[in-house]
Structure 1
């Protein structure tokens, strides 16, 4: 069975980039399975995702290919790149009391449609322990108070290392992460927000939406940054509603949107389909 790898890269736009990439892969006995690229005419940058298989007689690993690609191609074109195998990424999920996103992630994971491996659930409350353990996941309770927040965040980083987590998912985790923790998890932490961003802030967002007579309910999955709820957006889901929806109905619809948007974001990130483009993203769906 040939090994499958994924190459993602971004670099300044110039002629010859795609030719150099494909020539490298051909020269190393690789066959392209999927290729997507985007030329950003505003930022004059190229973004690329190529999935390929190595069919050489000898075993090839991502480390060897990455080193060769850097010396033969990447340095010449000033590329920011990653070359890795296609194994699912390991995901640590953080929750508080609302379980709709966690429940959806567990279902998709067990059904094999998430293309990511859930490895543990961390929470500042005990409420969702039964759900996590019923899904076969370790549940770690890490309480958070204003006084204990630094220790709690340090414990989280220890758990990320302990479980070998590639990605941290805030599945309605109702604590604001410190700037320091956001920076340490930059590019590998995803949050779900209960509206399009910017949106209704503060308590009871769906009550605010009801009071304003909104006609669309949405949710936004984005990377976590020190700028609260302003990280690069990965996915947004929208559901049309009308005047018949009271706050309870809006909440139900909103939770559906949150679960859908978050699951897509986790899957696309795990499949290495999301590339950062300054404060935005390029998503090769």
Structure 2
């Protein structure tokens, strides 16, 4: 009688069941992100990870930073929990520790995409770049609406099936400006917007609007702050004969172009280039810089540190 042995690489019934169970467990796991800052002291990491362990958390990535000048500690943890653990349950479990250590903290479901409202005026390069990145899956955000004080990009918005809100402004009409900002606030609340992006929106937000959007609005500035503020920055740079031009993405505050910086980038230029060539190069830098800042904010990698930021890349 001939006995036929199964090939050594063929899985047994037990191993197949085990693999299926493992796959099912992995599929059932939920992923979360915790970011925090607090006064620095010994034992923070141990305490934080201990709470997560008690909730069945498995840490996937962890980053931390201690600011020696201000004695402040910063941390970002991405972790998963098996089963049906909810973000609400985790927040309730973490809250006592956060209160005891005087933390500024946020705990979110990593699967939830950040909802972004785009504001734009008459220059559309940043708008077009962001829409393309979202469409091609290179920027994982949702864009429920676009607002503009001009009608130039309503067709572009329509081509991406995004509602376009034309809210015109007269330069010297303060009442109209207040009414327009009220409509923007209503849209933010109606659409549950997490982040507002000024994608070359050439209007100054009121102090009240800046306060309402604290740490929830990003602006792209077409120069390497703090240099060359105001009108025609690339022409200013050309007059000064600079060798590097750049762009700055920062949080919006009531101090014009003085908000905490999230990202900056530069491009090398030379004496042979015209101001128009500098503008063209600068616009490419603006697009990349703004996209990075939005991505890092959407991935909960940015923590405020006074007038600065900590960015866990």
TM-score, with length taken from structure 1: 0.97
Q: How many residue pairs were aligned?
A: 282
Post-superposition shift, 1:120? 1.0
The 5 Å alignment of 1:97-176 reads 97-145=122-170, 146-147=172-173, 148-176=176-204
SS at match of 1:22: helix
Cross-structure match for 1:241:
269
Measured in 2, the distance between the counterparts of 1:201 and 1:23 equals 48
Does residue 254 (structure 1) correspond to residue 279 (structure 2)? The answer is no
Does residue 5 (structure 1) correspond to residue 32 (structure 2)? The answer is yes
1:87-123 deviation line (CA, Å, top 9, x unaligned):
2100000000000000110011111111211111100
Cross-structure match for 1:62:
87
Residue in structure 2 matching 1:211, options 226, 229, 239: 239
1:247-268 deviation line (CA, Å, top 9, x unaligned):
1110011001110110000000
Residue in structure 2 matching 1:41, options 68, 80, 85: 68
Post-superposition shift, 1:36? 0.5
Measured in 1, the distance between the counterparts of 2:78 and 2:308 equals 23
For structure 1, which runs of at least 5 residues remain unmatched after alignment?
A: none
Does residue 224 (structure 1) correspond to residue 252 (structure 2)? The answer is yes
Residue in structure 1 matching 2:47, options 7, 17, 20: 20
Residue in structure 2 matching 1:88, options 99, 106, 113: 113
Q: Any conservation in 1 of the 2:223–2:229 contact (CA below 8 Å)?
A: no
Cross-structure match for 1:188:
216
Measured in 1, the distance between the counterparts of 2:124 and 2:93 equals 45
Q: Any conservation in 1 of the 2:223–2:234 contact (CA below 8 Å)?
A: no
Measured in 2, the distance between the counterparts of 1:29 and 1:269 equals 27
Tell me which structure has the larger Cα radius of gyration: 2
Structure number with the bigger relative contact order (C-alpha 8 A, sep ≥ 6) is 1
SS at match of 2:147: strand
- Range 240-249 or range 267-276, more displaced: 240-249
Post-superposition shift, 1:201? 2.4
TM-score, with length taken from structure 2: 0.88
SS at match of 1:260: helix
1:128-156 deviation line (CA, Å, top 9, x unaligned):
11112112211100011232000000000
